[in-house]
Structure 1
Amino acid sequence: MRTASAGPEIERLITLLSKMPGLGPRSARRAALHLLGRRDALMRPLADALADAADKISACSECGNMDVSDPCAVCSAPNRAENAICVVETVGDLWALERAGAFKGRYHVLGGVLSALDGVRPEDLNIAKLIERAERSEVTEIVLALNATVDGQTTAHYLADRLEAAGVKVTSLARGVPVGGELDYLDDGTLAAAFKSRSSV
């Protein structure tokens, strides 16, 4: 939808903003006008931050987290337990669990969940690396911290089957995570309680 009296530069800005989660064409127009109205205080610093992030931030080759270093700060931290790996759907879920401070082991970001409707297959996710990590001698537990959705639970069952051969204990989050709930929207106490009451899959 073209904005009346807007030049190609503004149209491009609105189009790019509308691709962000939660921003439709109208919200993108409002955001663009807000940025343009606060050019020095907001727009230029945001442009610099975006350019800096694009140049310096990448996915960790070990776990899939986003960071300026590879391996990331979580993977390279010496005080984290080596025997447990927490599997999450997205980097946002990893950050949510870190905010809660409920898990002191390592992480693994799948990059999504299996979905027949969306055409997401096992080979589209970061599963092969997870199996490789699970087979390391020091790993004794894999925690499946996937969203309590149909696709999340389907993925959890698939992973439990695949991880059986690795001989590790496979657990999942329990009490406190509602069906249909997404980790990034849960409070810290709920996440901590879910971790403490995890059960075998």
Structure 2
Amino acid sequence: MVALFDEIFEFVSSHAETREATRLRLSEGLRERMRAQESLPESDVEEFLRIRFTQAFPRTASLHANRLVDKVREAFRAWMEYAESVGDYLKRAGLDWETVEEAAKVFLGGPEAIRAFKAEEPSRFVEFSRAASIAMAIAHLNIYTIPVCLRSVFPYVDPERAGDYVREAKRAFSLIALAHIKKMYDTGSWDHFALRRLNLVRRLMEL
């Protein structure tokens, strides 16, 4: 499954049209800082990623829809098979995808939000922890590839199924985000840079 998404993401990400569409939409100040090869602040990096994922990726996907559509459908079938297996694990644990999405929202708030939720709703936190443990199987996955493909590429390649892709983008992101944050929680080593990037992708999923 991962290889299928990687291939699509790499095609769109590295395409000259994506690079040009991104460049044209960046603020003049950011273009100047990039030309000067300055070290960019996090706000600049976020602007760059936001424009790539919300404007440049959809444009390239639309332009190359005929070339990508078969690969997109194959990758989506693979994701749905995987999501079904996750759903089975969740069901056996007395959970569902809604639990995963709710848990991700809490965990994305960071350590203080998690501690507060644990104190206020300990029984619900136990459920969220079980969901996070199931998600840990994919803690090694890149935070961008699958969610961004599902949200910013697939609907523009195959618009008739856009609603399905957007729904599954939210599920995929919630599962991957939960896995990454559970890993931080378990080790007690919080990567606030990664947490900020995860929240950037969360906002993309909500568009």
Bigger relative contact order, structure 1 or 2 (CA pairs below 8 A, ≥6 apart): 2
Instruction: Kindly indicate which of the two structures has a greater share of residues assigned to strand.
Output: 1
Q: Does TM, scored on the shorter chain, surpass 0.5? A: no
- TM-score (normalised: structure 1): 0.24
